[in-house]
Amino acid sequence: MACMRTGTILIPGTSQLTAKDLLHRLQMSKAKCIITDDVLAPAVDSIESECQFLKFKLLVAEDHKKGWLSFKELIKYAGADHSCVNTKHQDLMSAFFTSGTTGSPKMTEHSYSSHGIGLTVTGRYWLDLTSSDILWNTSDTGWAKSAWSSVLAPWIQGACVFVHHMPRFDARTVLDSLSRYPITTVCSAPTAYRMLVQHDLTSCKFKSLQHCVSAGEPINPEVMGKWKTQTGLDIYEGYGQTETVLVCGTFKGMQIKPGSMGKPSPDYDVQIIDENCNILPPGEEGDIAIKVKPEKPFCLFTGYADDPEKTDSTIRGSFYITGDRGFVDEDGYFWFVGRADDVINSAGYRIGPFEVESALTEHPAVVESAAVSSPDPIRGEVVKAFVVLASDYLSQDPEKLITKLQDHVKKVTAPYKYPRKMEFVQQLPKTVSGKIKRNELRKKEWEKI
């Protein structure tokens, strides 16, 4: 709020950033000031000499630290006569670094219109907020979703925001909080819901909870089913990017099609197109794209900082290309297939990793999974699944369990999609916003050649 009142461009960052992450962000943004606490202060000090534009370091902590300004001391001098600067709708308001599933994180810039009033539809129709609601969004403050659901959307709707200081996601803490406090709306990533349904939810009494939404990556129909069965509540899926506000969503009152991201937001004209910008018919896979000509939607990002070439690369003809693949059905519902570079082409068959992961998650042995391409001398590439097992299955014979899981996938989805290779792991690599980094797993597989 203070940055908006003073016209200062804010770049939120997660507390999980390393010194290397901070250096990349400070150098790329040319930020003059950094605000943090005593946990990250040493990391900032270690790279400060390489940040020529950094002039001020502001510490939010109880104790003073040499070389740092104290927020606690400075706030004493804050006067009551402050007046807001006059900003224009196209002025830059904030910048978010993408989660970097492919390449280095890009600095995505948003204006006062795109991330300000652009979140009206998100708050009113997808989050379904009113002035009597209390919303808890569990996303990290460094993620653009935090701006969506922890600040701007509820602010526009006059809703109350619930905040819990939880450095690490803890399923039991979340369930206890939903039972203890009058939270009416919860927004969380699919990873969080997958962790929550591992617990017995029938013993939880969510007295006030009425509306549950999910975003960040596709949520498995199996997880949605478990949540519905044990809580009586539906999960409404939403789809957007750091570069956009909500692109598609299952809005309150709509029929829920498990696995679908819903229908386009009124903010956008969303289409499935081919490489020549032809709009594809229902059922045919293509690029998920947003119409930007003749009028660019005001809620779309301004561009990538100091990278006009990268910004221009997102435009094809009259469309902004999201980089995601999908299709639309006869009812106008959109379905996510995968990132353009995540789609697996095996012996001529195009296989979306999410389909494989969803099938695996339906088996009780699987907590989480990630499907990527792996080189094969005959098929060119095949599906390989990295699987996190439930504790009850850790002692089972690995080879026999792999066969069981492969047979399970063949029954749940088309047989050609089953993972011909499988590896059990303790955890999956993820971005700070909880998205599985398939590109990291895929790279390891192809480096084995």
DSSP string across 382-409: EEEEEEEEPGGGTTS-HHHHHHHHHHHH
Q: Distance of alpha carbon 363 from its chain centroid, rounded?
A: 25
Please write the tens of the pLDDT for every residue from 353-404.
Answer: 988 998 899 999 999 999 999 998 878 899 999 999 999 999 999 999 999 9
For residue 250, pLDDT over 60 is answered with yes
Report the alpha-carbon distance of residue 68 to residue 50 in Å, rounded: 17
* CB-based contact 218:190 (threshold 8 Å): yes
- 303 bridge partner residues: 109
| Mean of per-residue pLDDT scores for the chain | 92
* CB-based contact 154:25 (threshold 8 Å): no
* CB-based contact 333:260 (threshold 8 Å): yes
Residues in the chain: 449
DSSP run (H or E) holding 247: strand 246-249
Residues 263-278, mean pLDDT to the nearest whole number: 96
Q: How confident is the model at residue 213 (pLDDT cuts 50, 70, 90)?
A: very high
Alpha-carbon distances of 228 from 178, 197, 198, 222, 256, rounded to whole Å: 16, 10, 14, 10, 12
Please write the tens of the pLDDT for every residue from 403-428.
Answer: 999 999 998 887 889 999 999 999 99
CATH classification (class only), 95-338? alpha beta
What per-residue confidence (pLDDT) applies to 342? Answer: 85
* CB-based contact 114:302 (threshold 8 Å): yes
Residues 39-68, mean pLDDT to the nearest whole number: 95
In the chain, which residues fall in CATH 3.30.300.30? 342-446
Residues 309-317, mean pLDDT to the nearest whole number: 94
> Regarding predicted confidence, which is higher, 355 or 213?
213
Residues 258-284, mean pLDDT to the nearest whole number: 96
What per-residue confidence (pLDDT) applies to 104? Answer: 65
- 336 bridge partner residues: 326
Report the alpha-carbon distance of residue 383 to residue 419 in Å, rounded: 5
Torsions phi, psi of 10, nearest 5?
Answer: -100, 135
Report the alpha-carbon distance of residue 115 to residue 118 in Å, rounded: 5
SS3 label, residue 214 = strand
> Regarding predicted confidence, which is higher, 123 or 339?
123
Q: How confident is the model at residue 99 (pLDDT cuts 50, 70, 90)?
A: low
- Give the global pTM: 0.83
In the chain, which residues fall in CATH 3.40.50.12780? 95-338
**Tokens of residue 56, six digits:** 């001020």
For residue 101, pLDDT over 60 is answered with no
Q: Which CATH superfamily is domain 342-446 in?
A: ANL, C-terminal domain (3.30.300.30)
* CB-based contact 158:131 (threshold 8 Å): yes
Report the alpha-carbon distance of residue 239 to residue 164 in Å, rounded: 24
